[in-house]
Amino acid sequence: MRASTTVTRTLRRAVALVSVVTLAACADSSQAITPPPGVQPTPCGTVSIAVNPWVGYAANVAVVSYLLKQELGCTVVEKDLTEDASWEGLASGEVDAILENWGHDDLKKTYIDDKKVAVEQGLTGNKGVIGWYVPPWMAKEHPDILKWKNLNDYAAEFKTSKSGGKGQLLGGDPSFVTNDASLIKNLKLDFSVVYAGSEDALIAEFREAEADKKPLIGYFYTPQWLLSEIKLVHIPLPIYKPGCDADPKTVACDYQPYDLDKIARKAFVDSGSPAADLIKNFRWTNDDQNEVARDITVKKLSRDDAAKRWLEANRPTWQAWLPAR
């Protein structure tokens, strides 16, 4: 009986060991990334992401980078670059992905159509609106200011020591997409552009203007977390029509509304990297972005902590971005 029991135990251990090995193999197999047809599975490796100078973009980077690191085991390199420099980085190999592109049809033609070093990677889901805004108190007390043809009547109220005797139109970061100087000239407005210097400085000026009832008109945009705190009021300019802004020297229409998209280096996409699939699948809303951006700016959370907070509350959304496994 004792000899028989020993054999039985030995067999049981062998079966158990085979089962563990089989389960481990299945588990490993279930974690494997499925690349596009004809492309061999590729480890994630290093992914270089451009970081453009506004916090909404940083929110995109926070969430995508966190997932790349935690879910796919990538090494992520974040590079602080202007929009133009980001596209140049795609050509040089310095940048693998741009996570929020605002139009730039000229750059698409150069780098996608002509040089063929970049490819579109689908929409982010964000709707971008650029324009001229005033604080809510001004819109309430002077409702006629919301008609651009009345702006010259208020030019004197917007004068500052930096505006050269004209009304000041406050800009943000000089690298941002802007037609403001041409619009002022072509709409015959008695204003001049003065740059705040950065997104943070622009936000600070609008917050002060609302708190102190100080006259201010400036360039602003959505998605932007500040609009969930202060309902800045957009002043419509002449209606945008396709092509009306083709020549920066003659533009006299409002900014184009944008469906924001993503751009990636073609060689990066063609490599079969699972990171390219996640970036292509990444898609959320203005409210999502604003939530993460506000956590970074107002609550002073690190990008990783802000990303983790959003990801924990929105698991079904981001799980759909993961590559097939």
Asked whether the predicted pLDDT for residue 139 surpasses 90, the reply is: yes
DSSP string, 30-59: HTS--PSTT-------EEEEEE-SSHHHHH
pTM of the entire predicted model: 0.79
Write the pLDDT tens digit of every residue in 288-308: 999 999 999 999 999 999 999
Q: Report phi then psi at 247, rounded to 5.
A: -110, 110
Confidence bin at 210 (pLDDT 50/70/90) = very high
Of 106, 150, 130, residue with least CA distance to 223: 130
For residue range 258-290, list pLDDT tens digits in order. Answer: 999 999 999 999 999 999 999 999 999 999 999
What does residue 8 show for φ and ψ, rounded to 5 degrees? -60, -45
Tens-place pLDDT, residues 69-86: 999 999 999 999 999 999
Question: In CATH, what is the architecture of 135-235?
Answer: 3-Layer(aba) Sandwich (3.40)
Contact status, residue 136 vs residue 232, Cβ threshold 8 Å? yes
Q: What is the pLDDT of residue 248?
A: 84
User: 59 vs 248, which has greater pLDDT?
Assistant: 59
How do the domains of the chain map onto residue ranges? 46-125+260-319, 135-235
**Model confidence at 189: pLDDT above 80:** yes
- The highest-level CATH class for domain 46-125+260-319 is alpha beta
Tell whether the model's pLDDT for residue 9 goes beyond 50.
no
pLDDT at residue 41 is higher than 90: no
Domains 46-125+260-319 and 135-235 belong to one CATH topology: yes
- Work out the percent of the chain whose per-residue pLDDT is above 90: 82
- Per the CB < 8 A criterion, the answer to whether 181 and 205 are in contact is no
